[in-house]
Amino acid sequence: MTVNELEATRLSKSYTVEDRYIIVLDEVDFSVARGEAVIIEGKSGSGKSTLLSLLSGLDRPDSGKIILHGRDISDLGEDELAPFRNQTIGYVFQSFHLVPSLTALENIMFPAELNHDPDAAGKAEELLNRVGLIQRQKNFPHQLSGGEKQRVAICRALVNRPRIVFADEPTGNLDSANGEIILKLLLDLREEFNTTLVMATHSKEIGSMADRVVRLIDGRIDDHSLRTES
Protein backbone atom coordinates (compact mmCIF):
# COMPACT_ATOMS: atom_id res chain seq x y z
CA MET A 1 0.00 0.00 0.00
CA THR A 2 1.32 3.46 -0.94
CA VAL A 3 1.95 5.74 2.03
CA ASN A 4 1.79 9.46 1.40
CA GLU A 5 4.45 11.69 2.92
CA LEU A 6 2.48 14.77 1.99
CA GLU A 7 -1.21 15.49 1.31
CA ALA A 8 -2.62 18.90 0.50
CA THR A 9 -6.33 19.52 0.02
CA ARG A 10 -7.99 22.54 -1.63
CA LEU A 11 -5.09 24.91 -1.06
CA SER A 12 -5.81 28.51 -2.01
CA LYS A 13 -3.62 31.59 -1.77
CA SER A 14 -4.20 35.14 -2.96
CA TYR A 15 -2.59 38.55 -2.59
CA THR A 16 -3.76 42.12 -2.90
CA VAL A 17 -1.30 44.37 -4.75
CA GLU A 18 -2.45 47.99 -4.72
CA ASP A 19 -5.98 47.68 -6.17
CA ARG A 20 -5.45 44.26 -7.74
CA TYR A 21 -6.68 41.02 -6.19
CA ILE A 22 -4.47 38.20 -7.46
CA ILE A 23 -5.36 34.52 -7.02
CA VAL A 24 -2.05 32.63 -7.02
CA LEU A 25 -3.36 29.15 -6.12
CA ASP A 26 -6.96 28.06 -6.59
CA GLU A 27 -8.09 24.99 -4.56
CA VAL A 28 -5.08 22.81 -5.38
CA ASP A 29 -5.08 19.13 -4.36
CA PHE A 30 -1.62 17.57 -4.24
CA SER A 31 -0.05 14.46 -2.72
CA VAL A 32 3.39 12.85 -2.72
CA ALA A 33 4.16 9.25 -1.83
CA ARG A 34 6.92 8.48 0.64
CA GLY A 35 10.27 8.29 -1.18
CA GLU A 36 8.90 9.75 -4.41
CA ALA A 37 10.63 12.40 -6.55
CA VAL A 38 8.03 14.79 -7.96
CA ILE A 39 8.58 17.71 -10.32
CA ILE A 40 6.20 20.68 -10.27
CA GLU A 41 6.52 22.14 -13.73
CA GLY A 42 5.17 25.44 -14.95
CA LYS A 43 5.93 28.84 -16.41
CA SER A 44 7.03 31.81 -14.29
CA GLY A 45 3.99 33.11 -12.43
CA SER A 46 2.14 29.80 -12.48
CA GLY A 47 2.29 29.50 -8.67
CA LYS A 48 5.13 26.98 -8.24
CA SER A 49 7.10 28.89 -5.61
CA THR A 50 3.96 29.78 -3.68
CA LEU A 51 2.87 26.13 -3.64
CA LEU A 52 6.27 25.01 -2.30
CA SER A 53 6.19 27.73 0.37
CA LEU A 54 2.78 26.52 1.55
CA LEU A 55 3.63 22.82 1.45
CA SER A 56 6.80 23.38 3.46
CA GLY A 57 5.15 25.59 6.07
CA LEU A 58 7.16 28.69 5.12
CA ASP A 59 3.87 30.45 4.32
CA ARG A 60 0.23 29.90 5.27
CA PRO A 61 -2.65 29.18 2.87
CA ASP A 62 -5.80 31.29 2.86
CA SER A 63 -7.73 28.02 3.01
CA GLY A 64 -7.08 24.30 2.70
CA LYS A 65 -5.26 21.62 4.66
CA ILE A 66 -1.69 20.28 4.59
CA ILE A 67 -0.82 16.93 6.17
CA LEU A 68 2.94 16.39 6.33
CA HIS A 69 4.34 13.13 7.71
CA GLY A 70 0.97 12.45 9.32
CA ARG A 71 0.67 15.86 10.98
CA ASP A 72 -1.69 18.69 10.07
CA ILE A 73 0.58 21.74 9.80
CA SER A 74 -2.11 24.10 8.48
CA ASP A 75 -2.99 25.58 11.87
CA LEU A 76 0.23 25.04 13.82
CA GLY A 77 1.55 28.10 15.62
CA GLU A 78 5.08 29.19 14.75
CA ASP A 79 6.41 27.91 18.10
CA GLU A 80 5.35 24.38 17.11
CA LEU A 81 5.88 24.73 13.37
CA ALA A 82 9.48 25.99 13.44
CA PRO A 83 11.00 22.95 15.23
CA PHE A 84 8.81 20.54 13.26
CA ARG A 85 9.97 22.17 10.01
CA ASN A 86 13.62 22.00 11.05
CA GLN A 87 13.40 18.32 11.94
CA THR A 88 11.21 17.15 9.07
CA ILE A 89 11.88 19.41 6.08
CA GLY A 90 14.91 20.42 4.02
CA TYR A 91 14.67 23.37 1.63
CA VAL A 92 16.91 24.31 -1.30
CA PHE A 93 16.42 27.85 -2.63
CA GLN A 94 17.28 29.22 -6.06
CA SER A 95 19.35 32.00 -4.47
CA PHE A 96 21.22 29.68 -2.05
CA HIS A 97 20.35 31.76 1.10
CA LEU A 98 23.65 30.93 2.80
CA VAL A 99 24.63 33.02 5.83
CA PRO A 100 27.49 35.27 4.60
CA SER A 101 29.29 35.35 7.96
CA LEU A 102 29.42 31.56 8.31
CA THR A 103 31.81 29.16 6.60
CA ALA A 104 30.56 26.39 4.33
CA LEU A 105 30.85 23.93 7.23
CA GLU A 106 29.08 26.27 9.66
CA ASN A 107 26.23 26.92 7.20
CA ILE A 108 25.60 23.18 6.94
CA MET A 109 25.88 22.66 10.69
CA PHE A 110 23.39 25.40 11.54
CA PRO A 111 20.10 23.40 11.26
CA ALA A 112 21.66 20.50 13.19
CA GLU A 113 22.81 22.86 15.93
CA LEU A 114 19.25 24.20 16.20
CA ASN A 115 18.30 20.55 16.83
CA HIS A 116 20.99 20.36 19.54
CA ASP A 117 22.67 17.55 17.61
CA PRO A 118 26.05 16.79 19.25
CA ASP A 119 27.31 15.36 15.94
CA ALA A 120 26.44 18.45 13.87
CA ALA A 121 30.06 18.97 12.76
CA GLY A 122 30.57 15.31 11.89
CA LYS A 123 27.42 15.14 9.78
CA ALA A 124 28.32 18.38 8.01
CA GLU A 125 31.83 17.14 7.21
CA GLU A 126 30.43 13.85 5.92
CA LEU A 127 28.08 15.68 3.56
CA LEU A 128 30.78 18.08 2.36
CA ASN A 129 32.98 15.10 1.58
CA ARG A 130 30.08 13.42 -0.23
CA VAL A 131 29.64 16.40 -2.56
CA GLY A 132 33.37 16.89 -3.12
CA LEU A 133 33.79 20.10 -1.11
CA ILE A 134 35.58 18.98 2.04
CA GLN A 135 38.57 21.14 1.03
CA ARG A 136 36.26 24.19 0.96
CA GLN A 137 34.82 23.73 4.45
CA LYS A 138 36.49 26.88 5.85
CA ASN A 139 35.55 29.09 2.89
CA PHE A 140 32.85 31.74 3.22
CA PRO A 141 30.02 31.98 0.66
CA HIS A 142 31.64 34.88 -1.22
CA GLN A 143 34.65 32.60 -1.84
CA LEU A 144 32.54 29.90 -3.50
CA SER A 145 31.25 29.58 -7.06
CA GLY A 146 27.51 29.35 -7.74
CA GLY A 147 27.65 25.58 -8.15
CA GLU A 148 29.63 25.22 -4.92
CA LYS A 149 27.15 27.42 -3.03
CA GLN A 150 24.26 25.26 -4.21
CA ARG A 151 26.06 22.07 -3.18
CA VAL A 152 26.55 23.59 0.29
CA ALA A 153 22.85 24.53 0.33
CA ILE A 154 21.89 20.94 -0.54
CA CYS A 155 24.09 19.64 2.27
CA ARG A 156 22.42 22.07 4.66
CA ALA A 157 19.00 20.83 3.55
CA LEU A 158 20.02 17.22 4.25
CA VAL A 159 22.01 17.55 7.48
CA ASN A 160 19.02 16.72 9.71
CA ARG A 161 18.10 13.71 7.55
CA PRO A 162 14.69 15.24 6.72
CA ARG A 163 11.68 13.22 5.63
CA ILE A 164 11.14 15.52 2.65
CA VAL A 165 13.23 18.04 0.68
CA PHE A 166 11.71 20.92 -1.28
CA ALA A 167 13.79 22.53 -4.03
CA ASP A 168 12.61 25.76 -5.65
CA GLU A 169 14.28 26.27 -9.05
CA PRO A 170 17.62 24.97 -7.63
CA THR A 171 19.40 25.44 -10.97
CA GLY A 172 17.91 28.86 -11.78
CA ASN A 173 21.12 30.77 -10.98
CA LEU A 174 23.49 28.24 -12.53
CA ASP A 175 24.82 27.61 -16.02
CA SER A 176 23.64 24.47 -17.79
CA ALA A 177 26.70 22.37 -16.90
CA ASN A 178 26.47 23.15 -13.17
CA GLY A 179 22.70 22.80 -13.35
CA GLU A 180 22.99 19.22 -14.56
CA ILE A 181 25.49 18.42 -11.79
CA ILE A 182 23.17 19.86 -9.13
CA LEU A 183 20.12 17.98 -10.43
CA LYS A 184 21.96 14.66 -10.52
CA LEU A 185 23.32 15.31 -7.04
CA LEU A 186 19.86 16.09 -5.65
CA LEU A 187 18.36 12.96 -7.15
CA ASP A 188 21.30 10.76 -6.10
CA LEU A 189 21.23 12.05 -2.52
CA ARG A 190 17.45 11.72 -2.36
CA GLU A 191 17.83 8.02 -3.16
CA GLU A 192 20.83 7.58 -0.88
CA PHE A 193 19.09 9.19 2.11
CA ASN A 194 15.66 7.70 1.27
CA THR A 195 14.20 11.21 1.22
CA THR A 196 11.06 12.39 -0.57
CA LEU A 197 11.79 15.17 -3.07
CA VAL A 198 9.49 17.88 -4.43
CA MET A 199 11.15 20.19 -6.95
CA ALA A 200 9.69 23.22 -8.74
CA THR A 201 11.08 24.16 -12.13
CA HIS A 202 10.13 25.70 -15.46
CA SER A 203 12.49 23.31 -17.27
CA LYS A 204 10.78 20.49 -19.16
CA GLU A 205 14.04 18.53 -19.55
CA ILE A 206 14.23 17.86 -15.82
CA GLY A 207 10.95 15.94 -15.83
CA SER A 208 12.50 12.81 -17.31
CA MET A 209 14.69 12.46 -14.20
CA ALA A 210 11.77 12.25 -11.73
CA ASP A 211 9.14 9.66 -10.83
CA ARG A 212 6.26 11.97 -11.66
CA VAL A 213 5.59 15.37 -13.18
CA VAL A 214 2.78 17.70 -12.14
CA ARG A 215 2.07 20.73 -14.31
CA LEU A 216 0.79 23.93 -12.76
CA ILE A 217 -1.07 26.41 -14.97
CA ASP A 218 -2.34 29.71 -13.58
CA GLY A 219 -2.61 28.40 -10.05
CA ARG A 220 -4.31 25.12 -10.89
CA ILE A 221 -2.96 21.64 -11.52
CA ASP A 222 -3.44 20.43 -15.07
CA ASP A 223 -4.65 16.87 -14.58
CA HIS A 224 -3.98 16.02 -18.22
CA SER A 225 -0.26 16.66 -17.77
CA LEU A 226 0.23 14.13 -14.96
CA ARG A 227 2.43 11.25 -15.96
CA THR A 228 4.62 8.58 -14.42
CA GLU A 229 8.14 8.18 -15.69
CA SER A 230 9.21 4.65 -16.51
For the chain, what is the domain count? 1
In a domain, 144, yes or no: no
In a domain, 152, yes or no: no
In a domain, 71, yes or no: yes
Separation between Cα atoms, residue 133 and residue 152, nearest integer Å:
8
Count CB neighbours of 20 within 10 A.
7
In a domain, 118, yes or no: no
Q: Residue 28's domain spans which residues?
A: 4-97+163-228
In a domain, 21, yes or no: yes
CATH number, domain containing residue 74 = 3.40.50.300
Query: What digits encode the pLDDT tens for the residues 149-196?
Result: 999 999 999 999 999 999 999 988 888 888 888 888 888 888 888 899
Q: State what percent of residues in the chain have pLDDT above 70.
A: 94
> Could you tell me where the beta strands, DSSP code E, fall in 52-186?
63-68, 71-72, 89-92, 164-168
In a domain, 222, yes or no: yes
In a domain, 126, yes or no: no
Reference 35, options 224, 212, 214, 230; nearest CA is: 212
pTM of the shown model = 0.91
pLDDT of residue 224: 58
pLDDT of residue 1: 60
Query: What digits encode the pLDDT tens for the residues 33-84?
Result: 999 999 999 888 889 999 999 999 999 999 999 999 989 998 888 899 999 9
In a domain, 119, yes or no: no
